[in-house]
Amino acid sequence: MKLQQKVIIITGASKGLGVSMAETCSREGANVVLAARSKPQLEAVAERILQSGGEVETVPTDMSCPEQLDALVARTVERFGRIDGLINNAGVNYVKPFLEIDPAEWRRVLDVDLTGSFLLTQLCARRMAHQGRGGSIVQIASVHTHASLAGAAPYDAAKHGMVGFSKAAAVELAPLGIRVNILSPGLCETEIWKDIVAAAPSEKECIDYWNANIPGGRLITAEEISRCCVFLLSNDSSCITGANIFADLGMTSLLVSREPYVSSAIASQ
């Protein structure tokens, strides 16, 4: 087991990627602390982990409330005695035309996705430094840290900011054995994907479009992203810090949208 007896905090653990991260880390031997706003959903995830023999703690947490982040760290240390890893997965996605975004909407996204992640990273890193045994922090960003889509200004700003402060933290914390990396997923089979399909006029056209613009030709599974997190939390990635890793099946390497036809070969002249 790659995470045997490590204590890992996972935010946004009540649904989507967070649930898979919690279950995968537990299977790899970690003691997991699950944080999200919904207590009933957290408890449902925890019950499945307990039934499989894992150790788990749930702490209802709003990432925009600094006092609740303090309580999350305090409860983790009270229950397990230390913190070995953090997956900063919680986030608010947001789509609205740039000219129509009001300041309250902007602040909400940045409070959760950027400021909350920064504060929790700082709290966990302080604890890791005090423990003197290093640690690993994984920030869940997005392919939006490479390029944008219309309507995503607050989300993009938050995720770019996450990359910025994480690289700075990685440089400063490296001498303490604390690693900070960013994982930027592409399009995954989560609730966000369901929202995308539901908003499209045709489910088939939506699926065909996205598959044509992902070189891998499919969506990424939550399990695949979770396995990447396990790698970054484990000693297998001991030489990696300050990296922004794109787990996107080639999406950010595609120069332009794929043609809706097959071109003939072009010979050199």
Distance of CA 119 to the CA centre of its chain: 16
In this prediction the pTM is 0.94
Our count of domains for the chain comes to: 2
Do 76 and 198 lie in one domain? The reply is: no
Tell me whether residue 155 is one of the annotated catalytic residues.
yes
Q: What is the pLDDT of residue 242?
A: 98
Do 86 and 195 lie in one domain? The reply is: no
Do 74 and 123 lie in one domain? The reply is: yes
Catalytic residue chosen out of the listed positions 94, 155, 209, 261: 155
Token output for 8 = 């890992």
Do 177 and 47 lie in one domain? The reply is: yes
Do 147 and 61 lie in one domain? The reply is: yes
Q: For residue 65, what is the domain's CATH number?
A: 3.40.50.720
Q: Nearest CA to 166 among 105, 86, 60, 95? A: 86
CA distance 3 to 231: 9
28 and 52 in contact (C-beta within 8 Å)? no
Do 154 and 47 lie in one domain? The reply is: yes
CA distance 133 to 17: 28
Do 213 and 228 lie in one domain? The reply is: no
Q: Give the tens place of pLDDT for each residue, 106-154.
A: 999 999 999 999 999 999 999 999 999 999 999 999 999 999 989 999 9
Do 119 and 172 lie in one domain? The reply is: yes
pLDDT-derived band at 269, boundaries 50, 70, 90: low
Structural domain of 209: 189-219
